[in-house]
Homo-oligomer: A and B are copies of this chain.
Amino acid sequence: MVNIRRLDAAQPDFRAQLDALLAWESVSDDKVNDIVREILHNVRTRGDAAVLEYTARFDQLDVQSAEQLEIPQERLQMTLRTIDPKLREALEFAADRIKAYHEHQVEKSWNYEEEDGTILGQKITPLDRVGLYVPGGKAAYPSSVLMNAIPAKVAGVEELIMVVPTPHGEVNDMVLAAAAIAGVDRVFTIGGAQAVAALAYGTETIPQVDKIVGPGNIFVATAKRYVYGTVGIDMIAGPSEILVVCDGKTNPDWIAMDLFSQAEHDEDAQAILVTPDVAFADQVAASIEKLLPTMPRRDIIQKALEARGALITVRDLDEAVEMINIIAPEHLELSVEAPEVLLPDIRHAGAIFMGRYTSEALGDYCAGPNHVLPTSRTARFSSPLGVYDFVKRSSIIMVSEEGAQTLGEVAAILADGEGLPAHAQSARYRLKD
């Protein structure tokens, strides 16, 4: 018996219940902070030697020199030739589609000229070097390698450095194959806070990068938070979430399985169904009961559904849209007849899966859009990982002699108003007498 929460938006205390359901705060406790700070300090000051020590201690990987931590490019290419061809084909198919989608995100530099000859613009430049963190062990997903690496390469990043821990020397071949397909330039078998430190500060062997992306455990996330500013970082992700909105006309087994596909990630994952059809919510609950025993990861699924899942009934699809905008879900599935009708009113969602055939799993692997998405209601203010995360902009200002006359007068007035006389004077110097 799966004890999944049933909520009704018409209940007087509904909003409080919903807020409690959504509440999530990831806290790095003092112990984690202390450990991470020490690791960062040691790698920063002692370089390779510290990286080798931590890798021996945490990953039981004993090598003599830091050079041995690198997996040569030939090994990546060889792995690509030796994995199951069906998997290789699937990875290549996914990579092609991810590339095609992300190419639509490429922005161009622009500028415009004003009447007096002044030119204003914006120059787009890819980052020089990016670090990609890939977790080891059970959470090593080749699809994540594709999703993080391909937008960087589409952006034009010249050097992409991947780090992946290999506890006891165990290497994940699918991850290496994905790295080869995505065009990763160098791979080092290091992980944890020490890998983040090595990428952020550089060591004798591991080059310093400009930005670090990719998921990791609490030590990795904490280290990323600390090095932010020295390098750029991507979002710090919370547990994965799905919100399925259904009009009650999709096969309830499909919807149950879509909820499972989120819940199977881990016990903190969140899977919520919102429907205006109470009878349909009952059908989905029945499908959950029926299908759960068939699932290899049923224990995780059940724990996640009971801890953070919910079946919510609403008045109508308009109220469902209100719910979407409150929840601001990472993944939103609109399993309804005419999803395009709802779309204009949806303000907050990482990715929107429209129509009964668009299961979230398609987007996770191969539809094309990125699967790195804002979690924990951060879709209110942040975006999927994209090409825009691997470029930066520079403002271009080229004021003509004539332009300097009008702009200079105004700048001087405002600078005087703010009490910054050198600013005023530097503008006035350019005025004709």
Contact = CB atoms under 8 A, between A and B. Distances in A.
> Would you call the interface of chain A mostly helix, strand, loop, or mixed?
mixed
B142 A120 contact: no
A337 interface: no
Given A231-B381, A397-B362, A410 B343 contact: no
A363 B395 CA distance: 10
Interface residues of A, number: 118
Q: How many copies does the complex hold?
A: 2
A53 interface: no
Contact of A366 (B101, B367, B411): B411
Contacts of A125: 347-348
B394 A379 contact: yes
Interface of A: 26, 86-87, 90-91, 93-94, 101, 104-105, 110, 112, 118-120, 122-123, 125, 127-128, 138, 141-143, 174, 210-211, 229, 231-232, 236, 251, 253-254, 257-258, 260-261, 263-265, 295-297, 301, 339-340, 343, 346-370, 373-374, 376, 378-384, 386, 388, 392-401, 403-404, 407-408, 410-415, 417-427, 429-430
Nearest to A257: B426
A347 B104 CA distance: 23
7 contacts: A93-B410, A120-B367, A361-B415, A362-B397, A362-B427, A368-B397, A369-B396
A210 B380 contact: yes
Given A122-B104, A423-B261, A429-B254, A127 B410 contact: no
A232 B430 contact: no
B352 A397 contact: yes
A347 B411 contact: no
Residue of A90, A349, A423 most packed against chain B (CB within 10 A): A423
Contacts of A363: 395, 397
A93 B210 CA distance: 37
